[in-house]
A = this chain, B = another copy of it.
Amino acid sequence: MNPILANPEITTPAFIIERSVVRKNCDAMREKAQRSGVVFRPHVKTHKTAEIARMQFGGGTGPITVSTLAEAEFFADHGFDDITYAVPVGPGKLERAAALAKRIKRLNLLMDSFAALQAMEEFSVRQGTRFNVFLKVDCGYHRAGVDPESQEAVQLAMKMANATGVHFQGLLTHAGHSYHTHNVDEIRKIAKQETSALTGFQNKLQEQGISQLTRSIGSTPTASVVERFSDTDDVRPGNYVFFDVFQAAIGSCDLSQCAVSVLATVIGSYPQHRHLLVDAGALALSKDAGPDHLDSDCGFGVVCDLNLHRLPMKLKVLSQEHGKIEAEPDVIAKYPVGTRLRILPNHSCLTAAMYDVYHVVENSQLLDQCRPIRGW
A positions within 8 Å CB-CB of B: 8, 11-14, 45, 67-69, 87-93, 95-96, 112-113, 115-116, 119, 142-144, 147, 176, 265-270, 272-273, 277, 279, 282-284, 286-289, 317, 319-322, 324, 336-338, 349-350, 353-357, 374-376
Inter-chain contacts of A116 with B (CB < 8 A): 337
Complex Cα distance A289/B288, Å?
9
Complex Cα distance A288/B89, Å?
26
The listed residue with most B CB atoms (<10 A of its CB), out of A8, A337, A357, A374, is A337
A116 to chain B, nearest CB (A): 6
A142 to chain B, nearest CB (A): 6
Q: Are B92 and A338 in contact (CB under 8 A)?
A: yes
Contact A376-B13, Cβ < 8 Å, known A113-B269, A268-B88: yes
Q: Are B337 and A115 in contact (CB under 8 A)?
A: yes
Q: Are B356 and A12 in contact (CB under 8 A)?
A: no
Q: Are B286 and A67 in contact (CB under 8 A)?
A: no
Complex Cα distance A176/B355, Å?
26
Complex Cα distance A324/B375, Å?
20
Complex Cα distance A149/B349, Å?
44
Say which residue of B11, B95, B282 sits within 8 Å of A376 (CB atoms).
B11
Complex Cα distance A321/B46, Å?
12
- A-B CB proximity, top 7 nearest: A8-B92, A90-B265, A91-B338, A88-B267, A115-B337, A67-B321, A144-B268
Q: Are A12 and B68 in contact (CB under 8 A)?
A: no
A220 to chain B, nearest CB (A): 12
Q: Are B87 and A267 in contact (CB under 8 A)?
A: yes
Q: Are B350 and A87 in contact (CB under 8 A)?
A: no
Complex Cα distance A144/B272, Å?
12
Complex Cα distance A282/B169, Å?
29
Inter-chain contacts of A270 with B (CB < 8 A): 142, 144
Inter-chain contacts of A279 with B (CB < 8 A): 87, 90, 376
Q: Are A90 and B267 in contact (CB under 8 A)?
A: yes
Say which residue of B8, B13, B375 sits within 8 Å of A95 (CB atoms).
B8
Inter-chain contacts of A14 with B (CB < 8 A): 376
Inter-chain contacts of A96 with B (CB < 8 A): 11
A273 to chain B, nearest CB (A): 6
